[in-house]
Amino acid sequence: MKKVLVGLLVLVALSIFAVQVNYGIFADITTTNIWNLLGSGSSAQNFAVQLWKYPSLLGMNKDGTLIPSAATEIPKLVKEGNMYTVTVKLRKDMRWSNGAPFTADDVVFTYMTVKEMEIPGGNWSGAYEPEKVEKIDTWTVKFYFKEKKTMTIYYDTLMTAIVCSNYWKPIVEKAKKQKDPVKWLLSQEVIDPGITALNLGKIEKGAFVQVTKQVPDYKYWAYGEKNIYYKGGGFSIVNPKTGFKWSTGDTKQPVTLEVVNGPFVDTIVYKIFGNKQVAIQALISGDIDYIYNPVGLTAGEAEQLKGQKDIKIVSNPQLGFRYLAFNMRRFPMNVKEFRQAIAALIDRDFICNQVLQGRAIPLATPIPPANSFWYNSAVKTIGEGLSMGERYQLAVSLLKKAGFKWDTEPVIDPKDTKNPVKTPGKGLKGPDGKPVPTLTLLSPGMDYDPMRAQTAMYIEQWAKNIGIPLNLKLTDFNEIVTKAFDDVDFDMYILGWGIGRVPTYFKSFWHSEEMAPEGFNTPGYSNPEFDALIEEFEYADTFEQARKAIFEAQRILAEDLPYIILFTNPLIEAYRTSIKFPFDQMLDGIQGYYGFPEGVKKVQ
């Protein structure tokens, strides 16, 4: 009886001192299966609640520095005969939440399962790159590649999520005996071990998802591990418990930030809200501590929270951009000067600062300035610094240069700052003397994205002022995606991209091998010089060589303009001062770290 009473008292004590934080999300998770999670089941909510529990061999710190994660160091890419190899030494101190050690078996099993089972989904693409993955010993793995795709290997293949083989192996073996092995495997809803102390607990559809501590601090290999940032870019990983250490750069400089791994909470409850307004009210009332949202808050929502007691609002540069795309397969979008003329008309500063009231940041390249290693600050937009009248003049001169004419040529007075267009252009004709057909600009409507819709309205009017027959169609987002990416039936459209920190997306969006509908190159852009630079970037021997290639690629894009890069917008987030994150100022915000599940602290 005494033993039972003591046990009950311990449980009561644990429940009293258990630490819980509450996050808000906007949809149910749809799968707990990692193979599906990184395939067709990928979603922001699925990633936020689960993806962080899986290890990868390499990673990046908050400054974008390449660092080891499950590896002990950054491995070298070596030429061996007709192959390129990477030999990865693994950390010996890592353990799965079921107690199994993290070993070479986990790495080989993950990559071989993806290839042999042909697991679908773009997020598994890196696992398809190696020709072979070989176990050298318990703590060493060797990758073999046919091509020296340096950037893909380091920033995709070696950053692939790895699963616990002793858990998944029997399930995969059973899948292979099914009529449709892949379909059966992806349909299994299981909660598998993570490399973390936290893992999925109770799931209540439509209400909440619970993440709980499943490994006590004294048993957790990563508890107390430190990421140390030094002035000047130095960085160290130090694990006092296991003795693991790794450094890069000058670590003799003063420490600017020290991030200690927890977890510091016992439970995270992800409460599901039907819309943002309900979530915002829950944040104000204290029902949740943080709203997870990949697109952040609008300016109006931030204003609603401004001044509220115990709420902190943070703004960070976002990894993403809005853009206008041309269908370069059609006239006159296939004429570079025509595209440049449209670009010259678009006053990004006016759009961002006046129309959008400071809620957007003008961009000249597809890489935001905050991504400083890859951003080419020398690239300028056409017409940058000109008045609106001067922009009209420049656009007209570019069209004339390409042989365009008008029935009534526009008359511009650049000195008149209020109304520089004295005579609007009419009857625009191409170099062949034939009238330019009426063109359609597709854009999401005001309900979906008022920033894009308002920008599109100004572009339509500026174009019409000099006689470009452009009609705006505000329409459903899915219609634009279908016309642009599936049917490739459009003149121009405005959409946006979320992007990675490393610009491997340059190939996806603009390389001639990636033409839509098979790929994402919707403009049909083809420039051998650009393609060569992207291949130089991809196969670079050093990161400096890759950087040089991307700098030049940005310059070419700003001149050729398959896209006109319009703007990005700050990622605005809010959380209660009842919690504390390791840091809240970084590229792509708190949401980029999924709310720091093992770093968040409850403020007492």
pLDDT tens digits, 467-493: 999 999 999 988 999 999 999 999 999
The predicted structure's pLDDT at residue 16: 54
Distance CA 574, CA 577 (A): 10
Q: Is the predicted pLDDT of residue 465 greater than 70, yes or no?
A: yes
* Confidence category of residue 41, pLDDT binned at 50, 70, 90: confident
- 221-258: per-residue pLDDT in tens? 999 999 999 999 999 999 999 999 999 999 999 999 99
Q: Is the predicted pLDDT of residue 459 greater than 90, yes or no?
A: yes
User: Across residues 103-123, what is the average pLDDT?
Assistant: 94
Q: Is the predicted pLDDT of residue 503 greater than 80, yes or no?
A: yes
CB 466 within 8 A of CB 410: yes
Q: Is the predicted pLDDT of residue 11 greater than 70, yes or no?
A: no
The predicted structure's pLDDT at residue 14: 43
Across-strand partners of 134? 142
Q: Give the list of residues 6+ apart from residue 495 with CB closer than 8 angstroms, or none.
A: 322, 323, 325, 444, 452, 477, 480, 481, 484
Work out the burial of residue 243: count CB atoms within 10 Å of its CB; fewer than 13 is exposed, 13-18 middle, 19 or more buried. exposed
* Confidence category of residue 261, pLDDT binned at 50, 70, 90: very high
* Confidence category of residue 5, pLDDT binned at 50, 70, 90: very low
* Confidence category of residue 44, pLDDT binned at 50, 70, 90: confident
CB atoms under 10 Å from CB of 239, counted, come to 19
Beta-strand ranges (E) seen in 222-310 are 226-230, 235-238, 245-248, 255-260, 267-272, 290-291
The predicted structure's pLDDT at residue 417: 86
- 408-428: per-residue pLDDT in tens? 999 999 999 889 999 999 999
The predicted structure's pLDDT at residue 603: 93
- 377-390: per-residue pLDDT in tens? 999 999 999 999 99
- 133-185: per-residue pLDDT in tens? 999 999 999 999 999 999 999 999 999 999 999 999 999 999 999 999 999 99
- 302-349: per-residue pLDDT in tens? 999 998 999 999 999 888 899 999 999 999 999 999 999 999 999 999
User: Across residues 362-376, what is the average pLDDT?
Assistant: 92
Q: What is 528-585 written as a DSSP string?
A: HHHHHHHHHHHT-SSHHHHHHHHHHHHHHHHHH-SEEEEEE--EEEEEETTEE-S---
The predicted structure's pLDDT at residue 7: 41
With a pLDDT cut of 70, the percent of the chain lying above it is 97
The predicted structure's pLDDT at residue 53: 98
Tell me the H-state helices in 213-317. Answer: 276-285, 299-305
Cis peptide before 193 (omega within 30 of 0): no
Q: Give the list of residues 6+ apart from residue 41 with CB closer than 8 angstroms, or none.
A: 30, 31, 33, 186
Higher pLDDT: 282 or 570? It is 282
The predicted structure's pLDDT at residue 357: 85
The beta-carbon contacts of 34-37 under 8 Å, at least 24 apart in sequence, are 34/161, 34/163, 34/192, 35/113, 35/117, 35/119, 35/185, 35/186, 36/186, 36/187
Average pLDDT, the chain: 93
The predicted structure's pLDDT at residue 450: 87
Q: Is the predicted pLDDT of residue 583 greater than 70, yes or no?
A: yes
- 519-547: per-residue pLDDT in tens? 999 999 999 999 999 999 999 988 899 99
